[in-house]
Amino acid sequence: MELQANMAHTDHQWFTDKTIVDRIQYWRQTDSHEPAFIFRSSNGRFTLSRGDVLDLSSRFASRLTKGGLKPGEVVCIALPNTPERIVVEFGVHLAGGVSMNGQILREDGCDLAESINSVRCKILISDIERSDSAWGLLQKHFTILESGKDLLKVTSDFVKDLEIVQLCRIQRHSEGFLAGLRSEQLFVYDRTKPTDLATIFTTSGSSGYTKLVKQSHRNILNSGYMFSICTHLSAPDKIYHSSPLGWAGGYPAHFLYTGCTRILVDAGAGPITDFASLIWNAVNEEDVSVFNAVPIHVELLYQQAKKKGFDRPPFKKIITGGQPIKRANLCALGFLADSLQIVYGATELGYIASLNVGIDSVAVFRDFTVGYPLPGVQLKVDCESTTALHNESRGEVLVKSPTLCMGYAGDEPIPITDGWFRTGDIGYMNKDGSVAVEGRSSDAIMHGSYVLYPTWMEKVLMACPGVQQVAIVPVPHQVMHHEICACVQPQAGAETTTEDVIMFCRKELALAQTSTLNVVPKYVVFFEAFPLTSTGKLDRKKLSAEATSKLS
């Protein structure tokens, strides 16, 4: 039996002359009361209709404009997945501004400060309710020049271009951020062009500081188009999709294309004590038809369904990706759904390839296969061998795509050779023309949907008392692909324990993260000496194998 990619796309068109602003207005004019985003928490639900999205976002755009934001200026949004995040994100676009995801991995917030400086960001929008919010971490570096209700004018030598901090009260009552927008006027900047910079996405960097990827309005809309055609997503669907809104894969591009209703976990409505039950309740009570999640969350729902009994119709489709996929990741097929769509993409490129796997083709699924190139995409594997590409010779995956990003913020060049983007992924072409992706070409660790470059984490851990030498390596995990392991050579006479190392990491790294973003090592393994290559360098592959053996 041959695996087939689900690629019916003849009735769709690329966006050439539309912007995010156009699509927000379009859906307001098309059944404005239809739910656009439903946020679920243990305290209930909060709905933004299509009309709410335009109304509240345009009022926030008015506030930004009155605060001095000019078209093309960057606004850093350091908010979790909440209704406020949607309103702020789209409000920045409606004001003619550029949104940037305010991702934090370092406990002192220095990585966020680096991002703000690199794009000369003028405005920061931060949650005010948590001590570990962006403003909570950075405020010690600022002098407040003027203070209004939830709006600060600031100055700092540490973050030089930042002038305004908008504090966002994530509260669903009369004192909250959303309620406060009702007094603002409506405003829409109507001169945005499709080729204008819209959003700066975050992705992992080898230095531990976030890479900032610039994408235009046109590319974001076309990413929504490509996602929708490969998954057959349409307006009547209700899709559970709780990836971070500031990531390329979590940005609401598919809403802009299809108008479908998206269900998310509300990260601002209090602590989540039972994430599995929260997902279970959301998909059942909201009548979700499409479940889009990283493999670890598919596994969570699958285990809940087996435990509680799945007494609702199966999903039309499960969508997953973000990491190498093995047959073990397909266990929900035949139970939660009869069809699973694997989607492969990159922040710099959008969606690249996809594969539809049905219950009758699981047995012939080959581990790591991500599918066939999407419309307009060219894909090849750069093998050292001169033989044909379809002989499963491994090499770096190279891509040409119409949704290639506008570049990185800063001076770093896009990794392109003769027009081909170098993904940094290692893979091979199957004989049927599909591509398989096994992992990264570097020492990077693929921890779920997050790529961790170990050298910066090693520098952090070298400051841990009692540590002489440290190496961060991957160890296999059935669902996450890799789990993170710290290999430690202790100092002579030191009595450093596993708990000492993990607690040190927790103090240095931001912990208000999803399970895939939290890069605190799960395991610590002690060594008297590390294995070396013939040239005297650390043999990371052998060290990983030895750590895996010690843990088994």
Q: Name the more confident of 283 and 3.
A: 283
Q: 513 pLDDT exceeds 50?
A: no
pLDDT digits (tens, 9 = 90+) for 93-105: 999 999 999 988 7
β-strand pairing of 261-265 with 238-241: parallel
Query: Residue 447 — pLDDT band, cuts 50, 70, 90?
Result: confident
Which residue, 379, 370, 375, is CA-closest to 322? 370
Does residue 517 have a pLDDT over 70? no
Average pLDDT rounded to a whole number, residues 107-131: 87
- Write down the pLDDT at residue 2: 31
Lowest mean pLDDT of 2-6, 46-50, 260-264, 395-399, name the range.
2-6
State the pLDDT confidence band at 416, using cuts at 50, 70 and 90.
Answer: very high
Task: Render pLDDT for 308-340 as a digit per residue (tens, 0 to 9).
Answer: 887 788 899 999 998 888 888 898 998 999 999
For every residue of 104-165, DSSP letters joined together read --BTT-HHHHHHHHHTT--EEEEESS-TTSHHHHHGGG-EEEEEETTEEEEE-SSSTT--EE
pLDDT greater than 90 at residue 439 = no
The pLDDT, as a whole number, for residue 501 is 92
Question: What tokens appear for 498 in the block?
Answer: 């596993």
What tens digit of pLDDT does each residue of 160-206 get? Answer: 899 999 999 887 676 789 999 999 999 999 999 999 999 999 887 65
244 pLDDT above the threshold of 50:
yes
Which neighbouring-strand residues pair with 485?
473, 523
How many Cα atoms sit within 13 Å of 31 on the Cβ side? 9
Per-residue HEC secondary structure of 439-491 comes to: EECCCCEEECCEEECHHHHHHHHCCCCCEEEEEEEEEEECCCEEEEEEEEEEC
- The fraction of the chain above a pLDDT of 90, given in percent, is 55
pLDDT, mean over the chain: 87
- Domains of the chain (ranges, CATH numbers): 20-216 (3.40.50.12780), 230-440 (3.40.50.12780), 445-551 (3.30.300.30)
Inter-residue contact 457 to 208 (CB < 8 Å)? yes
Average pLDDT over residues 208-215: 82
How confident is the model over 365-370, as a mean pLDDT?
92
Give the pLDDT confidence of 9-35 residue by residue, as tens digits.
444 578 999 999 999 999 999 999 999
% of the chain residues with pLDDT over 70: 92
Kindly state the helix (H) or strand (E) to which residue 291 belongs, with its residue range.
strand 290-292
Does the pLDDT of residue 400 top 50, yes or no?
A: yes
**pTM assigned to the model:** 0.84
